[in-house]
Amino acid sequence: MAEAEPRRRARGGGGAARRAARTAVSFETARFIERRVPNYEILDEEALELIEANADLVLEEIGVNFVNNPEALKLWKEAGADVEGERVRIPRGLARKLCQTAPSRFTQVARNPERNVEIGGKSLVLAPVYGPPFVRDAEGRRYATMEDFRKFVKLGYMSKWLHHSGGTVCEPTDVPVNKRHFDMLHAHMTLSDKPFMGSVTEPSRAQDSVDMCKILFGEDFVQDNTVMTSLININSPLTFDDVMMGALEVYAKNNQACIISPFIVGGAMAPVSVAGTLTQVLAEVMAGIAYSQLLRPGAPVIFGAFVTSIDMNSGAPTFGTPEASQILYGAGQLARRMGLPFRSGGGLCGSKLPDAQSAYETAHTLNAALLGGVNFMLHACGWLEGGLVSSFEKFVLDADQLGVLHRLAAGIALDENAQALDAIREVGPGGHYLGCAHTQANFKDSFWRSDVLDYRPFETWFEAGAQDSFALASARVEKLLGDYQAPPLDQGISEALDAFIARRKASMPDALT
Amino acid sequence: MAEAEPRRRARGGGGAARRAARTAVSFETARFIERRVPNYEILDEEALELIEANADLVLEEIGVNFVNNPEALKLWKEAGADVEGERVRIPRGLARKLCQTAPSRFTQVARNPERNVEIGGKSLVLAPVYGPPFVRDAEGRRYATMEDFRKFVKLGYMSKWLHHSGGTVCEPTDVPVNKRHFDMLHAHMTLSDKPFMGSVTEPSRAQDSVDMCKILFGEDFVQDNTVMTSLININSPLTFDDVMMGALEVYAKNNQACIISPFIVGGAMAPVSVAGTLTQVLAEVMAGIAYSQLLRPGAPVIFGAFVTSIDMNSGAPTFGTPEASQILYGAGQLARRMGLPFRSGGGLCGSKLPDAQSAYETAHTLNAALLGGVNFMLHACGWLEGGLVSSFEKFVLDADQLGVLHRLAAGIALDENAQALDAIREVGPGGHYLGCAHTQANFKDSFWRSDVLDYRPFETWFEAGAQDSFALASARVEKLLGDYQAPPLDQGISEALDAFIARRKASMPDALT
């Protein structure tokens, strides 16, 4: 593990008393999931081969556009593609061949090495909501601020089942667009010790992300290790814009991981059919990952598929629908056949509130993601209203549900203790297991238990105020934020980060876009 | 299909105008699900063989009790079991051998033959909540009445994705215990034309159920066809009481179907381990189904598994937990290896309200049931508070979610239209699919759409009152009950049912248990 340990840092400042107070509150984080259960394979071999052949045909005959990016066009031409204007047509088999240098599994290092995550194979890494401009809490819905952002990072740090601090947990709209990324990264780096994502909204902001990581982890360490996994959306259908590709270029060249992900609302950015959408997804991801490998063979990448359906009555994107699950299952199979880590799923929903609708839709997506072999799940908690809103209550409700996935993925134990034949003998027909030796020895770890949902008898619950899940979640948000304590950070690093941000911010005017 | 069509009935009473009014409101019911997707197999061959061997060992070494039932003990002895007092020890392999005469698939006939259901193989039949003494609606929680019962039957009749009218959709506590079954069956027979369940609370009530079916379907028809599927719970661990077995005896001898189902809260009625619970489930079901085949070889039965976990802090049963899903997946595999129809799952939850908790828990169970190969899903909608409450709002919310299962089970189309290559060609890089020919030709049927959840933009939803799922569901309950129209029923049959019930009720005093 020597190559995956960031440089040792001297503990900064605080005396024994402060350290004791810190350690008094323990924020346990479960290790990333390693599935001991099979994946769900919805498509058979013939279907998979058909979709793969169609995706090859799309790349060869229709091609993809690399917009405003002469350097990319040059690389593609050198690699053997047919380049005409901004259109890149890729001969059958070439994209797949180029993808072969991408690793099937990689480690993303956290500043606390215990929180490193492995992405690929049978793993599942859980990261929070990404992108919403609004937040919702017990008071209602409003534009997100940097203070909201920090609260979400704190909640993520304290969430046992969340392995990753994420990226834009909400858009801090009170900070100018061109300076936000500094404050967001600073929050992830200082308020949490879990792995995180870098900025992708400008190539220069990706470079700032890399430079800040060099301060946090050490210059050499960053060159040799992956310390960020960032989100590169493809402009579906079949378009790679220069902003996103610019960020990808920075990250790939610096050996930092990217999710290469079509962003598709079916019927708008892809055909209104599951098979057609899978074809387009595969073509787009192959082109994007092939390009990443042209930039730096071996650069860590993830096969992404953010795909959902549309309500043809209102034009609104819909989530947790059966078509979205089918696409997830199929895309997972396509990713595994390429030997690539897979990103999809999340706690996706279209509901305006963290109510029954939001939970049905979220649970459908979470189940599909677990069984569909997702390796990196963005939006695993806190996503509301089709991604327009980060919800504090839904964050803690979803984060709790992620425990269900951990337990389900652990599989069924079959050792002698789990077989429990002695218990069945001891209790016999008509008996009761509560008091038997096997139950006494095993009950503490036998069944997963929610930390936020209500298991009390009706009368107790009623007398305590008959709270619904929303009210229980609000109380938990308050409690967690009240208990929060920052993980220790070397004072020298902290000061160096502050100085870098101050210098960079001073060098630019405020920008609104 | 001649053997599965009940006798032709003359349309009773009403003239052309009334018939026109009736047909103006159409209550479409989807055909039962025939899965075109694979089952999820969580256990490998070695694990399944281990559990099967352990179950055989439990039956041979520990055995099961048939309580207060000399006739059953006699049958078991004749079949080769070792009978000692009420304990029946079954030599290795005997129970499994006896189970072989049970059909792997059977038809349950409805009085409207279009609503016949097939149970077994790749099918999934959805039936509503069963058993709660309380109801909850927009006004709160109270004891259930016969009027509530009728409302639930009406809602079930009007639910497109529900194939079955169920049985005790709630306990009508305002009717004496010994007379309830008449009113409940009458409601299912007259207010709906979907298939239903018979009474199991006394052997005589099972006989009444058979007798009422003879009036509804015709005497000979009932002898030759299965017109009821009833729920026989095993008194876990390993105990078969005389009341339930008495009902089973009536149904099996009359060729009516029974679900033979352990009712297990893990840690109380079975070991606190998944493998131990699966062992006990298999042993119990094999003993119960073997007994049904001793009564009448070929009697239709279902391998049941109602199994959930327990909260060891409060002792409350918990639902939608990962252990419950694991047991469902494993039990489904064990049932398929015996070639038997499988019952498990449902919209199970422990929540007191139809809130986010109830929906997370419900959706976990629904997904596991679909992928775990369930053939008959009781409690598919309306179940609340660990089965203590039938909820009107949850009934319509869950019944709507059952549409997700239909669509997911239909699999992924791969014909030329579904491949959509022409659409991808037409739109090309950077284009938009909303207006293309393929979208126009397919959008109406492309994506599943909820009939109760909200897809409106935030502003529209907010101005309309910012309703949560509960409020939307309440409105739908009102709307459906307002639109309800009874399916036509031959007047002679209707009068004969009334006369039978009046005569039987007059023959007995009111009883409270």
- Please state the ipTM of this predicted complex: 0.95
What's the confidence (pLDDT) of residue B9?
A: 46
Amino acid letter, residue A118: E
Contacts of residue A401 in chain B, CB cutoff 8 Å? 360
Nearest residue in chain A measured CA to CA from B407: A322
CA–CA separation, A22 and A464 (whole Å): 32
Task: Say which of A326, A364, A468 has its CB closest to residue B353.
Answer: A468
Would the CB atoms of A424 and B280 count as touching at under 8 Å?
yes
Cα–Cα separations (whole angstroms), residue A116 to A23, A112, A162, A228: 20, 7, 12, 11
Q: Which of B227, B226, B6, B220 is CA-nearest to residue B112?
A: B6
d(CA A142, nearest CA chain B) in Å? 12
d(CA A279, nearest CA chain B) in Å? 8
Would the CB atoms of A447 and B274 count as touching at under 8 Å?
no
Nearest residue in chain A measured CA to CA from B323: A447
Full DSSP string of B315-365: --EE-S-HHHHHHHHHHHHHHHHTT--EE---S----SSSSHHHHHHHHHH
A358 at interface of B, judged by CB pairs closer than 8 A:
yes
What's the confidence (pLDDT) of residue B5?
A: 52
**Residue-wise burial string across A84-120, b where 16 or more C-beta atoms lie within 10 A, e elsewhere:** eebbbbbeeebbbebbeebbeebbbbbbeeebbbbbb
The tokens for B28 are 């479409």
- Tell the residue number behind the tokens 């070792």, with chain if given: B82
- Burial of residue A266 (CB within 10 Å: 0-12, 13-18, 19+) is buried
CA A45 from chain center: how many Å? 29
Mean of pLDDT values over B376-390: 98
Segment 276-335 of chain B within 8 Å of chain A by CB: 276-280, 309-316, 318, 320-323, 325-326, 330
Q: Are B136 and B386 in contact (CB under 8 A)?
A: no
| % of chain B residues with pLDDT over 90 | 92
Say yes or no to pLDDT of B343 above 90. Answer: yes
**Pairing mode, if any, of strands A134-137 and A229-234?**
unpaired
Task: For an interface test with B, give the residue of A325, A329, A421 to mutate (most B CBs within 10 A).
Answer: A421
Segment 120-149 of chain A within 8 Å of chain B by CB: 141
What structural domains and CATH numbers belong to chain B?
98-410 (3.20.20.480)
Task: Say which of A41, A275, A444 has its CB closest to residue B312.
Answer: A444
The answer to whether the Cα torsion of A265, A271, A272, A276 is positive or negative is negative
* Backbone phi, psi, residue B31, to 5°: -60, 150
Say yes or no to pLDDT of B455 above 50. Answer: yes
The tokens for B172 are 């009508």
What's the confidence (pLDDT) of residue A312?
A: 83
Say yes or no to pLDDT of B23 above 60. Answer: no
Confidence of residue A21 (pLDDT cuts 50, 70, 90): very low
Size of interface A-B (CB pairs under 8 A): 395
- Within 10 angstroms of residue B334's Cβ, the number of other Cβ atoms is 23
- Tell the residue number behind the tokens 């929303």, with chain if given: A470
Q: Which region, left, alpha or beta, applies to residue B121 given φ > 0 means left and ψ of -120 to 50 means alpha?
A: left
Q: Are A43 and A54 in contact (CB under 8 A)?
A: no
Q: Which tens digit of pLDDT belongs to each residue from A353-371?
A: 999 999 999 999 999 999 9
Would the CB atoms of A63 and B429 count as touching at under 8 Å?
yes
**Pairing mode, if any, of strands B134-137 and B389-391?**
parallel
Would the CB atoms of A453 and B267 count as touching at under 8 Å?
no
CA–CA separation, A355 and A55 (whole Å): 39
Task: Say which of A47, A57, A453 has its CB closest to residue B414.
Answer: A47
Mean of pLDDT values over B194-209: 98
d(CA B51, nearest CA chain A) in Å? 8
The answer to whether the Cα torsion of B478, B480, B482, B484 is positive or negative is negative
Would the CB atoms of A430 and B65 count as touching at under 8 Å?
yes
**Pairing mode, if any, of strands B82-84 and B87-89?**
antiparallel
Angle at the Cα of B196 from the Cα atoms of B190 and B199, rounded to 5 degrees: 100
**Residue-wise burial string across B21-60, b where 16 or more C-beta atoms lie within 10 A, e elsewhere:** eeeeeebebeebbebebebbbbbeeebbebbbebbbbbbb
Would the CB atoms of A413 and B275 count as touching at under 8 Å?
yes
Beta strand segments in A301-417, E:
301-304, 306-310, 317-318, 342-343, 376-377, 383-384, 389-391
Amino acid letter, residue B498: D
Contacts of residue A404 in chain B, CB cutoff 8 Å? 320-322, 364
Q: Which residues contact B11 (CB under 8 A, 6 or more apart)?
A: B19, B488, B490
Q: Which tens digit of pLDDT belongs to each residue from B133-182?
A: 999 999 999 999 999 999 999 999 999 999 999 999 999 999 999 999 99
Would the CB atoms of B274 and A413 count as touching at under 8 Å?
yes
Confidence of residue A511 (pLDDT cuts 50, 70, 90): confident
Q: How many residues does chain B have?
A: 513
Tell me which of A372-386, A401-415, A431-445, B120-134 is least confident: A431-445
What's the confidence (pLDDT) of residue B212?
A: 98
Confidence of residue A1 (pLDDT cuts 50, 70, 90): very low
| % of chain A residues with pLDDT over 90 | 92
CA–CA separation, B152 and B146 (whole Å): 10
Q: Are B161 and B30 in contact (CB under 8 A)?
A: yes
Segment 166-225 of chain A within 8 Å of chain B by CB: none
Mean of pLDDT values over B173-201: 97
Q: Are A98 and A288 in contact (CB under 8 A)?
A: no
d(CA B144, nearest CA chain A) in Å? 16
Q: Are A500 and A174 in contact (CB under 8 A)?
A: no
What's the confidence (pLDDT) of residue B314?
A: 85
Mean of pLDDT values over B302-323: 94
B453's enclosing H/E stretch is none
Say yes or no to pLDDT of B269 above 80. Answer: yes
d(CA B220, nearest CA chain A) in Å? 40
Mean of pLDDT values over A138-162: 98
Q: Which tens digit of pLDDT belongs to each residue from A387-421?
A: 999 999 999 999 999 999 999 999 999 999 999 99
Beta strand segments in B266-368, E:
301-304, 306-310, 317-318, 342-343
Q: Tell me B89's DSSP state.
A: E
CA–CA separation, B308 and B345 (whole Å): 10
The tokens for A239 are 């378009």
Segment 42-101 of chain B within 8 Å of chain A by CB: 42-43, 47, 50, 54, 57-58, 61-65, 87
Q: Which region, left, alpha or beta, applies to residue A11 given φ > 0 means left and ψ of -120 to 50 means alpha?
A: beta
CA–CA separation, B147 and A401 (whole Å): 37
Would the CB atoms of B468 and A353 count as touching at under 8 Å?
yes
Q: Are A169 and A382 in contact (CB under 8 A)?
A: yes
Would the CB atoms of B367 and A362 count as touching at under 8 Å?
no
Segment 230-249 of chain A within 8 Å of chain B by CB: 235, 237-239
Would the CB atoms of A367 and B363 count as touching at under 8 Å?
yes
Would the CB atoms of A351 and B63 count as touching at under 8 Å?
no
Say yes or no to pLDDT of A285 above 60. Answer: yes
Cα–Cα separations (whole angstroms), residue A235 to A129, B165, B320: 20, 48, 38
| % of chain B residues with pLDDT over 70 | 95
Task: For an interface test with A, give the residue of B273, B370, B432, B474 to mutate (most A CBs within 10 A).
Answer: B273
Q: Are B83 and B77 in contact (CB under 8 A)?
A: yes
**Pairing mode, if any, of strands B117-120 and B87-89?**
unpaired
Nearest residue in chain B measured CA to CA from A385: B458
Would the CB atoms of A404 and B454 count as touching at under 8 Å?
no
* Distance in Å from the first CA to the final CA of chain B: 42
CA–CA separation, B447 and B459 (whole Å): 24
B455 at interface of A, judged by CB pairs closer than 8 A:
yes
Would the CB atoms of A274 and B37 count as touching at under 8 Å?
no
Mean of pLDDT values over B310-338: 95
Task: Say which of B237, B276, B418 has its CB closest to residue A429.
Answer: B237
Q: Which tens digit of pLDDT belongs to each residue from B457-500?
A: 999 999 999 999 999 999 999 999 999 999 999 999 999 999 99
CA–CA separation, A453 and A450 (whole Å): 6
Mean of pLDDT values over A197-208: 97
Say yes or no to pLDDT of A100 above 50. Answer: yes
- Burial of residue B230 (CB within 10 Å: 0-12, 13-18, 19+) is buried
Peptide bond preceding A128: is omega within 30 degrees of 0, i.e. cis? Answer: no
Contacts of residue B441 in chain A, CB cutoff 8 Å? none
Contacts of residue A397 in chain B, CB cutoff 8 Å? 356, 360
Would the CB atoms of B355 and A355 count as touching at under 8 Å?
yes
Confidence of residue A10 (pLDDT cuts 50, 70, 90): very low
Would the CB atoms of B238 and A430 count as touching at under 8 Å?
yes
What's the confidence (pLDDT) of residue A313?
A: 84
Greatest Cα pair distance in chain B: 79
Look at A262 and A3; give whichever has higher pLDDT: A262
What's the confidence (pLDDT) of residue B10?
A: 42
What's the confidence (pLDDT) of residue B511?
A: 76
Alpha helix (H) residue ranges in A420-468: 421-427, 437-446, 458-463
The tokens for A338 are 């390429």
Mean of pLDDT values over A425-435: 95
- Tell the residue number behind the tokens 């298991």, with chain if given: A455
Q: Are B276 and B270 in contact (CB under 8 A)?
A: yes
A475 at interface of B, judged by CB pairs closer than 8 A:
no
Confidence of residue B40 (pLDDT cuts 50, 70, 90): very high
Q: Which of B315, B443, B329, B308 is CA-nearest to residue B383?
A: B308
d(CA A338, nearest CA chain B) in Å? 21
